[in-house]
Structure 1
Amino acid sequence: MLRRLVIFMAVLVVAVPAIFYSFQAFSRASAIKANIVVDITKTTGPFPDRWKALAQGGEESGVRMLENVVSKISGLYPKYIRLDHIYDFYEVVTRDSSNNLKFDFSKLDKTVCDIYNTGAKPFFSLGYMPQTISEDGSLIGKPKNWNEWTFLVQKTVEHYSSKNTVLPCGAMENFWKTDIYYEVWNEPDLESFGKWKYTGAKSYSDLYFFSVKGAQQAQNILPYKIGGPVTTALYKNWIQKFLDYIIANNLRIDFISWHHYSKKTDDYTQDIINLNKWLGEDPKYDKYENLPKIISEWGYDSEKNQIADTEVGAAHTVASLRNLISSKLEQSFLFEIKDGPTLSWGILTYQGEEKPRYKALKLLNDLEGSQLMVDGEGSN
């Protein structure tokens, strides 16, 4: 009975993308009709779990957004949860009476504990600029003094990756504090997040340089990951200029990340193809070809779109992940976990009710073991 159930679910995971592909290509006269054949005697390897990653955006400040959905999230067995707005939403930085920086991670700690209670590790987006550090007083300005940003990153890494870290949820085994990710900023190329350039007066290269410097100054810590450039999409000029700067300054980089929103389910895997092609264009990039590649936000639409909350959105999720699990991608973070007070991108409502995309992920979670050989999917 169990074997038949697994086979049924495997066929369903193939069939749902096929339906979605047909929907996408309804008007294409040249489309090749699918004739799906599943051979249960042949496998293509173990079913990977690199897609078990979720992202939460900044829908609500000053509260534990994930508190009421911990059990729902844990049911998806995520490996990592990406958290944005860690400095501005959780009031991490102030100044004392002598005008020195003062750090208080207590509010952020509570949300990080919620992440741990789901069974996941945190993946931090290092941003945004604390107003007391910012040159123009905004959350997207560059710092008045780069050393203060460096110190902030140092203290962040020391706080969450320390061998002695104790959070409100208690002391943890080193496993849970090892390989925490620190991603430098969020969509730096976007106007609303600062419109940083890869060079110039407001340079992401500088931001990355001083972030790495801060992380490397951290003391008594466990292994961690730091990387970027986390642009709104994968751009050749950004990737190559970013790596040129890293080469010239001998900087650490542990992963390459970017975002991608598209209704076309093949676009995500095309990113991997393009990136590998660009890295192969010059021998100086050879040592970066095997860096972990991470899509740290992805979804149906970068704008709020009610279709994403329908069965079409769920089919899009399964179809996209069906492609991603066979690509050379370290992780892909579906955006986002939970709506804010108004409808947004969540797979759960503000009250924690399940949407179709959540149920699609639950379906995928029930698959384990080896992937079955599939043929005859057509051209879509």
Structure 2
Amino acid sequence: MAINTLSKTSYRSVVNREMLISVMSGKSLFPLILLIVVLPLTLLAVKKVIDLRKGAAGTMANIVVDTQNPGSKVPSSLWRNLSQGGEEPADMIKPVITQIRALSPELIRVDHLFDYYNVYQGPGNYDFSRLDGVIDSILATGAKPMLSISYTPAQMTASNKNADPPRDWNEWYSLVKATARRYSVDKNISGIYYEVWNEPDLFGGWHYSGSNNYTTLYHQTARAIVDGAGRANYKIGGPAITAYYANWIKSLFKSTATSGIRLDFISWHKYSKNPADYLADFDNLNKILSDYPQYFDIERLITEVGPNPEPDSWYDGSQSGIHLMAVVTQLAGKIHRIFTFEPVDGPSPRSDKSSGWGLLTHDQKPKPRYFAIPFLNELKDGSLLPSTGDGT
């Protein structure tokens, strides 16, 4: 099936060579194929204002999609994941359980476990009641929790500041061990993802080498999780950095390969309006993995995804929904999971440009990006279809 379309944008290199569509017998594929083909082009046309007086002639595009030879299936686990930010020290999922359940999420990520929910009451003294409520709300949506093990309680640090290194690593070990035991053993929640920290390059002043070394934090935390969770079904990983930084990834691979400390997934965050930028990180990771073949099959997670890390009008408009679908088409078959940031806005608008990053406003009203996930969920038995062609 050939699809011809005219576009003045110069971003032809971003046109996907594989399209995510649903192979549904007896139904016309043309509207869906057309939508998926133009998603990246539409997104980037929004990103850049094109002066149509320059080179206005354009070139007719000739894009051919092979519907007869679908590629591998694309699991819905790629996009059915959410990451809730620490907008306020409250259970932000509870008021929107019904709306979130409708998205069929598989994992919901939360951070600020120890500085928001008053778990740590002193050495060996823990109160999980508030955190229990957050976990129960996640489970009520049908999802499993991803627990971002963060941040060090202020009373545990020499500086008396949250997220700084602990005075005594044994105290941190005991807190994390008790947390893993609480949820993986006592509450018997199977399939928890434990992510060591949230954005260590931003919170706590951690580094991939030298003082305040993240690998020390990872080793201490992972050891505590293993000892606390025992034989339960769970996964451990990190480093959940603010963006893909190769030195952090290499440092973690090297230290865990040498020490034998468990590492089930590698994670980072990505914010960009250009879906093609996400592929550059994937390509760089593959180069690193050539030096660490033991991690070649490791899960690759982008645990925060969005068009902009700063407040942006895109989050309140249709561009954000188009962006999410375009990112999915780019990363299908390359990344195991992406986590949309975030389910719910905070209580106050982030700026005069946007109410926040949420799929839902703080008063539970859905934004356009919310509806992108049900759309993707309708792509049952989604497959990658090869395509060829070019044009401007």
TM-score normalised to the size of structure 2? 0.85
Alignment of 1:242-321 (within 5 A): 242-280=252-290, 282=291, 285-321=292-328
- 2:344 match: 338
SS of equivalent to 2:333 = coil
- 2:155 match: 132
Aligned 8 A contact 1:299 1:335 in 2: yes
Matched, 1:356 2:368: yes
Aligned 8 A contact 1:179 1:224 in 2: yes
SS of equivalent to 2:132 = helix
The Cα shift of 1:18 comes to 3.4
Alignment equivalent of 1:59, drawn from 61, 82, 87: 87
Alignment equivalent of 1:35, drawn from 45, 53, 62: 62
The Cα shift of 1:244 comes to 1.8
Alignment of 1:57-206 (within 5 A): 57-61=85-89, 63-95=90-122, 100-162=123-185, 164-165=186-187, 177-190=189-202, 193-206=203-216
The Cα shift of 1:359 comes to 1.3
**In structure 1, distance between residues paired with 2:74 and 2:237:** 27
Aligned 8 A contact 1:43 1:370 in 2: no
Aligned-partner residue type, residue 309 of structure 2: S
**In structure 1, distance between residues paired with 2:221 and 2:389:** 46
How many aligned residue pairs are there?
358
SS of equivalent to 1:352 = coil
The Cα shift of 1:316 comes to 1.3
The Cα shift of 1:84 comes to 1.1
The Cα shift of 1:247 comes to 2.6
Alignment equivalent of 2:381, drawn from 359, 362, 369: 369
Aligned 8 A contact 2:164 2:205 in 1: no
Change (3 A) 1:31 1:46: farther
Q: Unpaired segments of 5 or more residues in structure 1?
A: 166-173
The sequence identity of aligned pairs, in percent, is 37
SS of equivalent to 1:304 = coil
**In structure 1, distance between residues paired with 2:182 and 2:30:** 46
Aligned-partner residue type, residue 390 of structure 2: G
Change (3 A) 1:154 1:363: same
Aligned-partner residue type, residue 45 of structure 1: S
Change (3 A) 1:372 1:252: closer
- 1:168 match: none
The Cα shift of 1:219 comes to 5.5
The Cα shift of 1:324 comes to 1.5
Change (3 A) 1:346 1:238: same
Aligned-partner residue type, residue 274 of structure 1: N
| Deviates most, 316-325 or 217-226 | 217-226
Aligned 8 A contact 2:184 2:229 in 1: no
Aligned-partner residue type, residue 331 of structure 1: R
SS of equivalent to 1:135 = coil
TM-score normalised to the size of structure 1? 0.87
Q: Unpaired segments of 5 or more residues in structure 2?
A: 1-23, 349-354
SS of equivalent to 1:81 = strand
RMSD across aligned C-alpha pairs, in angstroms? 2.4
Partner deviation per Cα, 1:224-273 (whole Å, 9 max, x = no partner): 11111111111111111222222332211111111111111011122111
Aligned-partner residue type, residue 348 of structure 1: L
